[in-house]
């Protein structure tokens, strides 16, 4: 770059700041190779570093996404039914083409079952649409998610049986069960984070894990072997060494810090069981009340678009800000 593109002045090679937008936020990547105008201050990056810059942008995106994702909830948008009906193909015919019964394919359309990736690709191929048109993912704000989580969709039809309106109503039972479920989720998250922290930092617990690994390695090697020119342990020696290490583990398991970790693990196990029981009740209510959200995150594409309009103020996504 010989002259400034803005004023025609002299430019020099310099480290400049590169400004860009990542996930809706203005981000500055500092000190990248570029040019600076001595007269007007205009800056431009060196085109030769574009590939390296892409890596820095990706690193920054991952860093931002790690924090942002905590504030959003994933939704899987299912457009299978809309696309099939637009092509006027009966459920039975698509099901047969997939090797499924009409009922099984219907469960996929209703979000009662979510297909594995290979099945979803086959459905897209059968309907002759790109995979991304069949299913989409949106990370929506928790505010929007809370608005739609407990809703059921009611079709209003005219005299000819045609749907003229879709109304949304709250399922009271679902409100209560979701409160209980989310409270358990929050409690579990906090307890698990604390447990992970203790396991990382407690020296006795780390010693137990290291010793258990040593025992596994000893048990794997059943025969004599040569290691650095030395003959390996005999079976009798290995058994004695394993016993010694097991005794060491037993002693450390009696330490107050490890006892605390073991008790926390038992409490988390109990909470997980309680959460699963609540989840089972939640699924029963969702199916009984024809909830618009199935499996906590799957939603029909047409319903999703209606709710985006209904709750436009609350709607936002991580990738469309």
pLDDT digits (tens, 9 = 90+) for 69-92: 888 888 999 999 999 999 999 999
Span of 9-13, 20-24, 39-43 with lowest mean pLDDT: 20-24
pLDDT category at 214 given cuts 50, 70, 90 is: very high
Residue 281 or residue 221, greater confidence: 281
> Quick one: pLDDT at residue 229?
46
pLDDT category at 123 given cuts 50, 70, 90 is: very high
pLDDT category at 125 given cuts 50, 70, 90 is: very high
Q: Indicate whether 254 belongs to any domain.
A: yes
> Quick one: pLDDT at residue 321?
42
> Quick one: pLDDT at residue 53?
85
Q: Indicate whether 139 belongs to any domain.
A: no
Domain end, chosen from 55, 71, 87, is at 71
* Whole-number average pLDDT of the chain: 89
Q: Indicate whether 43 belongs to any domain.
A: yes
SS (H, E, C) the chain: CCECCCCCCEEEEEEEEEEEEECCEEEEEEEEEEEEECCCCCEEECHHHHHHHHHHHHHHHHHHHHHHHHHEEEEEEECHHHHHHHCCCCHHHHHHHHCCCHHHHHHHHCCCCCCCHHHHHHHHHHHCCCHHHHEEEEEEEHHHHHHHCCEEEEEEECCCCCEEEEEEEECHHHHHHHHHHHHHHHHHHHHHHHHHHHHHHCHHHHHHHHHHHHHHHHHHCCCCCEECCEECCCHHHHHHHHHHHHHHHHHHCCCHHHHHHHHHHHHHHHHHHHHHHHHHHHHHHHHHCCECCECCCEEEHHHHHHHHHHCCCCCCECCCC
pLDDT category at 153 given cuts 50, 70, 90 is: very high
Number of domains in the chain: 2
Q: Is the pLDDT of residue 1 over 70?
A: no
Q: Indicate whether 159 belongs to any domain.
A: no
pLDDT category at 219 given cuts 50, 70, 90 is: confident
Q: Indicate whether 234 belongs to any domain.
A: yes
Average pLDDT for residues 142-170, to the nearest whole number?
Answer: 91
Q: Indicate whether 193 belongs to any domain.
A: yes
Average pLDDT for residues 256-279, to the nearest whole number?
Answer: 96
Range of the domain at 195: 180-280
User: Percent of the chain beyond pLDDT 70?
Assistant: 95
Q: Indicate whether 101 belongs to any domain.
A: no
Q: Indicate whether 44 belongs to any domain.
A: yes
pLDDT category at 63 given cuts 50, 70, 90 is: confident
User: Percent of the chain beyond pLDDT 90?
Assistant: 54
> Quick one: pLDDT at residue 228?
43
* pLDDT tens track for 188-210: 999 999 999 999 999 999 999 99
Q: Is the pLDDT of residue 157 over 80?
A: yes
* pLDDT tens track for 158-171: 998 888 899 999 99
**What CATH number corresponds to the domain at position 57?**
3.10.20
């Amino acid at each position: 770059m010989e002259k400034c593109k803005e004023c025609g002045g002299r430019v020099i090679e310099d480290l400049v700041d590169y400004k860009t937008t990542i996930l809706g936020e203005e981000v500055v990547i500092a000190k990248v190779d570029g040019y600076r105008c001595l007269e007007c201050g205009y800056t431009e990056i060196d085109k030769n570093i574009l590939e390296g810059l892409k890596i820095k942008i990706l690193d920054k995106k991952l860093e931002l996404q790690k924090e942002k994702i905590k504030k959003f909830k994933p939704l899987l948008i299912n457009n299978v039914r809309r696309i099939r009906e637009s092509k006027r193909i009966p459920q039975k015919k698509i099901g047969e083409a997939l090797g499924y019964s009409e009922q099984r394919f219907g469960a996929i359309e209703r979000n009662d079952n979510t297909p594995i990736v290979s099945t979803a690709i086959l459905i897209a191929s059968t309907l002759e649409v790109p995979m991304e048109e069949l299913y989409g993912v949106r990370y929506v704000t928790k505010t929007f998610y809370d608005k739609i989580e407990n809703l059921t969709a009611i079709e209003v039809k005219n005299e000819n049986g045609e749907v003229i309106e879709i109304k949304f109503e709250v399922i009271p039972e679902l409100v209560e069960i979701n409160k209980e479920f989310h409270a358990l989720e929050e409690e579990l998250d906090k307890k698990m984070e604390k447990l992970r922290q203790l396991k990382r930092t407690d020296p006795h617990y780390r010693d137990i894990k290291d010793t258990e690994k040593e025992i596994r390695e000893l048990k794997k090697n059943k025969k004599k072997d040569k290691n650095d020119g030395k003959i390996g342990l005999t079976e009798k020696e290995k058994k004695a060494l394993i016993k010694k290490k097991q005794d060491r583990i037993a002693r450390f398991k009696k330490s107050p810090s490890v006892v605390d970790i073991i008790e926390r693990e038992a409490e988390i196990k109990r909470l997980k069981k309680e959460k699963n029981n609540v989840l089972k009740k939640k699924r029963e209510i969702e199916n009984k009340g024809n909830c618009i959200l199935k499996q906590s995150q799957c939603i029909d594409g047409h319903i999703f678009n209606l709710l985006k309009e209904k709750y436009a103020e609350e709607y936002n996504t991580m990738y469309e800000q």
